[in-house]
Structure formats: C-alpha cells, structure tokens
Amino acid sequence: MKQRKALMIVNPKAGRRKSRGPLFDAVRILSEAGYLISVYQTAGPGDGTETAAREGKHYDLVVAVGGDGTLNEVASGLMELEERPLLGYLAQGSTNDFASSLRISRDPARAAAEVARNVPRSLDVGRWNQRHFIYVASFGAFTRSSYAAPQSAKNALGHLAYILEGMKDLNSLRPYQVRLSADGEALDGEYLFGAVCNSTSIGGLMKLDPERVVLDDGLFEMLLIPNPQSAADLQGLVHALLNQEYDSQGLVFRHVSRIHLETEDTLPWSLDGEYAPSLPVVDIENRRQALAMLL
C-alpha cells in the first residue's frame, strides 16, 4: 500500500506560551496512523500560503498548526491548487473561532486523533476579490482589533486582548456608507459593522446559533449592524446582539452566496483576523465545498 504523506505547517509564534509537548504527541499519532510526516516552521506572514501552494501537491494531507490566521494562510495556499490534498487543523491560537465552530479539540493530541480517523468533511471557502477566507470577512467597528492586537497579548490574554484593542476604537466609532447587494437584494445604507461568515463564532465575541450555520451549503451567514438613529435604537441593537436575536428589527441577517459592495469611505476589513486593505469595490463569493477537512 502506498505510504501516505502529511505536511505540518507550524506557526511558531501562535500560542507561544503553550507547551509543545502535545505537538510531539500529535506527530506520533499521525505517524502511527500511517502518515510519513514532514514538519515546516513558518518564517513570517504569508509563508504558510506560499508553502502550501508550493508543496501541497506532493502530500495527501496538509495540517495547519497555529491560530485562525495560520489556517487562513494554509487554506489560501491550497486553494491555488487544482487538485487539493486533505486539510487538517491543530488549533494553537488565542481564539480559534473556527475550531470552536467545528468542535475541534484545542489539545493537539486529541485533534490529531480525530484527523487520524480519516473522515473528511466538505467545507465552503470564501473568496474576497482575489483573496480567500475560511470563516469570516468583516468590516467596520472592532474589525481592526482582530489583527491589531499584538501576538504577545493574544497569547497571554486570549479573548481579552481583542476586547482591550477594540476599546481603542470606541472614540472613532463611525458609520460607513456602502452600496451593497446580496444575491441581488439591495441593502444600501450606513453600517457600523458587517460580517460575512461561515462560522458560529465571530472574533470570539459574537455567537451564531449552530442550528443556523451549515458549513458546506454554499451559503454564508451575513450580519449587518446599521447606524442607530437614537439612543433607543442603540439599546435595541445591543439587546439583540447580546441575546443572539439576529432577525430582530434593526439588524440585517441573511443567508447569501454572493455579495457586491461599493464604498467611497476608507473601510477597514479583516479576513479570518488578518488585515485586508480598504478597496472601493469588493466582491465576495462562496466557493462551495472547495476543501475537504479531516475532523
């Protein structure tokens, strides 16, 4: 029988305070499952994407070891291939939103044991202009905090790091005027925040009902927070968000496959927690079941 090959792409900066012992256990578990393991340690931003795109075709399985940003890089690299290997994820970051959505253990050994079961699950992947995201593209309020919080703070404080960084944005909280269509529906307006996601958790702070999120149905969950016109409107929006009442009057919640957005404002974006520059025109599409992940 042909020897199966696995490439582990490891971000050494993610979860730096965590013990590396469980990673050795993960390598042992995958090796005992019949994989010949190669380990690559990333040298900086973008290296995971380049490595996955360059080396992925030589492997049966590519495993991202790090946080959601590392998973984004590895998945983005695999999306450049015509024939894509299976994807695995050992979550070592500070928030691990996507791992939470898929109920992937944060213990690398347990996660590796699940990968070793060799049960693939199809996953949708988002395309944001020429870039890809695996679980969320967001804009507006608090978006900056997902990529601006220092890695050392993320490692030490986890979700709190995002909250502390997000508080810096409160004084500059402002609406963004956008022209937006979602599957042909016009939703032009002023919004404080918007997210297009394929996850039950956004930024470790906002939760979506797992019953309403299907990861391979070709649809994103889109949430828009309009600019409140009064204190009562603001109170209603906060209440709806805290209670996950996304269909309440005031919020905009849709299941969509394509989004077209235009704006003249400088609109900050985050893709899986990584910075994306403001652009006057953004097209987002769902690439249904583009990757297969071992869970």
Q: Which residues are catalytic?
A: 274
Residue of 246, 278, 285, 284 lying closest to 263 (CA atoms): 278
Strands 206-207 and 258-262: unpaired
Contact in structure between 295 and 119 (CB atoms under 8 Å): yes
How far apart, in whole angstroms, are the C-alpha atoms of residue 70 and residue 184? 33
> CA dist 229 to 169, 195, 226, 232, Å?
20, 21, 9, 8
Q: Counting every residue, how long is the chain?
A: 295
Phi, psi of 203 (to 5 degrees): 65, 15
- Which residues face 294 on adjacent strands? 120
Which amino acid would we find at residue 242?
A: L
Taken in order 61, 120, 210, 80, is the CA torsion positive or negative?
positive
Grouping H, G, I as helix, E, B as strand and the rest as coil, residue 184 is: coil
Give the integer Cα–Cα distance in Å for 21 and 277: 38
Q: Contact at 8 Å (CB) between 283 and 118?
A: no
Q: For residue 171, what are the contacts with CB-CB under 8 A and spacing of at least 6?
A: none
Distance, C-alpha 89 to centroid of its chain: 12
Judge contact between 69 and 272, C-beta under 8 A.
yes
Return the residue matching tokens 């998973």.
71
